[in-house]
Amino acid sequence: MPDPRPPGGRLSVQKTYKLFLAGAFPRSESGRSYPVSDARGALLAHAALASRKDARDAVVAARRAQPGWAAASAYNRGQVLYRVAELLEDRHAQFAEAVAAGEGLDGAGAEAVVAETVDRWVWYAGWADKIAQVAGSSNPVAGPWFNFSVPEPVGVVAALAPQRSSLLGLAGVVAPLLAAGNAVVVVASEERPLPAVTLSEVLATSDVPPGVVNVLTGRTRELAPVLAAHRDVDGLDLAGAGPELAAELERASAGNLKRVLTPRGGEEDWWAMPSTRRMLTFVETKTAWHPVGV
């Protein structure tokens, strides 16, 4: 009987790319997948093609996890995000290889993207326990009371990751949402989803609680309307939506008055620079009164 092994002596172990829901890695409930090619058009792998039910399941997981994440101290959230940055740094070479293949960058360019991604997580980790001082206030009142305004997360936010930047763009939309205390359902770059799945592996082995981040791979046009119209989604980040799709999703989200963040005119890469605006868009201001001396 002929030896089935290649001349090198062993078969390569092909990776199976799955969704990331509630801290686990299920296949799409539909059983579908789709081919993912590198920048030259060569087949890299097959990724899970998420269905509308997968999107709804992701929202359920995020809703279940969000109260606990929001209840954690801001300092603790910052430490958790910093741990993600440490794990990213440990797997620098793996992410650089994935970015180079998907985005057509040379080795130095891909390594620079990974380094910037790590820095992005660290930047938002540092802001986690400082945003309250910037966005909150102690308000003067006429009477024997203290009056404080403090930012609180809106809840569950659905995000469309930028299409062209598979890793840095993903971090640029997910990290600020987490730092503010929100749970996230993110639709990865449709053509370049593999770094997002690899990042899911980092999140699964970090201290991020299950369900706080849920990653869907598949057709943005198919998944985004489900999330926009979902009444248990409180916010929508349209970083990865073109103008036509963004307008459609804004209309779909009006039914339950979602917070919607859309790119400003002509700024396709406006997410690329870290900004507290990404955090402040998805917080509510809560004002509390307390009598003096009690």
Residue 3 CB partners (closer than 8 Å, separation 6+): none
Confirm if 220 and 240 have CB atoms less than 8 A apart.
yes
Contact of 185 with 59, CB cutoff 8 Å = yes
88's CB contacts (< 8 A; 6+ apart) are 95, 114, 117, 118, 121, 199, 202
CATH code reported for the domain at 43-291: 3.40.605.10
Q: What is the pLDDT of residues 226-246, one digit of tens each?
A: 999 999 999 999 999 988 899
Q: Mean pLDDT throughout 257-282?
A: 77
pLDDT at 1: 53
pLDDT at 73: 95
For every residue of 240-260, DSSP letters joined together read: T--HHHHHHHHHHHGGGT-EE
Domain boundaries, the chain: 43-291
Tell me what the mean pLDDT of segment 19-43 comes to.
Answer: 92
Confidence class for position 137, pLDDT limits 50, 70, 90: low
Q: What is the pLDDT of residues 70-86, one digit of tens each?
A: 999 999 999 999 999 99
Angle between helices 168-179 and 107-127 (to 10 degrees): 10
Give the torsion sign (CA, 192, 162, 280, 152).
negative
- pLDDT tens by residue, 165-219: 999 999 999 999 999 999 999 999 999 999 999 999 999 999 999 999 999 999 9
Chain Cα centroid distance, residue 146: 37
Model pTM score: 0.90
Neighbours of 242 (CB within 10 A): 14
Model pLDDT, residue 135 = 82
How many CA atoms lie less than 13 Å away from 143 in the CB half-sphere?
7
Stretch 21-48: mean pLDDT: 92
Round the average pLDDT of the chain to a whole number and report it.
Answer: 90
Comparing 120-124, 131-135, 215-219, which segment has the lowest mean pLDDT?
A: 131-135
Model confidence band, residue 16 (pLDDT cutoffs 50, 70, 90): confident
Q: What average pLDDT does range 24-37 have in this prediction?
A: 93
User: What is the percentage of the chain residues whose pLDDT exceeds 70?
Assistant: 93
- Assess whether pLDDT exceeds 70 at residue 144: yes
pLDDT of 2 higher than 70:
no
**For residue 28, which of 45, 53, 62, 56 has the smallest C-alpha distance?**
53
Q: Which two tokens stand for residue 293?
A: 């001396």
Write down the pLDDT at residue 266: 46
